[in-house]
Amino acid sequence: MDNPIRTAEHLARMAKRREDLTSLLVQLIPAATSIIWEVGCGHGHFLAAYAAAHPDQLCLGVDISIDRIRRGQRKRDRAKLVNLHFIHAEARDFLDALPAHASIASVFILFPDPWPKRRHHKNRILQPEFLAAVAQRAGQGAQLHFRTDHEPYFRDSELVIQAHPDWKILPEPWPFEQETVFQSLAPIHHSLTAGRRVGH
């Protein structure tokens, strides 16, 4: 049976974490802004290079690993990139805490954990519910960029996106090249770009 005191402490910690994330995002995004969001940004190689090449775009990288986020922050500080922030958060918590005046222009999902066993597929980030949640915060013309070295995950994701009411796969070239840590270990990879469907 659950210990009610520990459960209450856990719930209080979670509420405090959500509150802190909300305040941080309001501070980082004080006015109506379109953001570039990288989910599971790891050490931040991709987004640091992207932010340097797009100084007019606000870039936010999110990861559940605090060590990886700290590495990203060091990259940002060394390069003095004021349009880049790395945030320790879970992807869905980030979406829930995003201020109403912020909208997503692009989301990058690069080499996410493939969870190869069928019984673990439910842990994959690219799921219909996640796509719907991103679409709710995505601006007109928003794009989602997905890259993986795991071919079965790529094929499954194509099917998930093709069947989704909010997104459609676009014949777009990959928008920006910068090798990530996991990409450097991958002999071959597959990429797709999806666009938010008009009218949604």
Ligand X SMILES: C[S@@+](CC[C@H](N)C(=O)[O-])C[C@H]1O[C@@H](n2cnc3c(N)ncnc32)[C@H](O)[C@@H]1O
The only residue of 22, 65, 83, 127 in contact with ligand X, by rule CB under 6 A = 65
Give the type of residue at 160. Answer: V
Residue 3 CB, nearest approach to ligand X (Å): 27
> What does the block give as tokens for 50?
């992207």
Q: Is 60 helix (H, G, I), strand (E, B) or coil?
A: strand
Query: By C-alpha distance, which of 134, 151, 140 is closest to 192?
Result: 151
Q: Is 96 in the site for ligand X (CB under 6 A)?
A: no
The only residue of 113, 149, 156, 158 in contact with ligand X, by rule CB under 6 A = 113
The only residue of 58, 59, 68, 148 in contact with ligand X, by rule CB under 6 A = 68
The span of 47-55, 61-69, 161-169, 188-196 binding ligand X (CB under 6 A) equals 61-69
The only residue of 50, 111, 153, 167 in contact with ligand X, by rule CB under 6 A = 111
Catalytic residue list contains 113: yes
> What does the block give as tokens for 101?
């005046």
Query: By C-alpha distance, which of 83, 130, 104, 97 is closest to 36?
Result: 104
Interface residues with ligand X (CB under 6 A)?
39-42, 62-65, 68, 90-91, 110-113, 125, 180-183
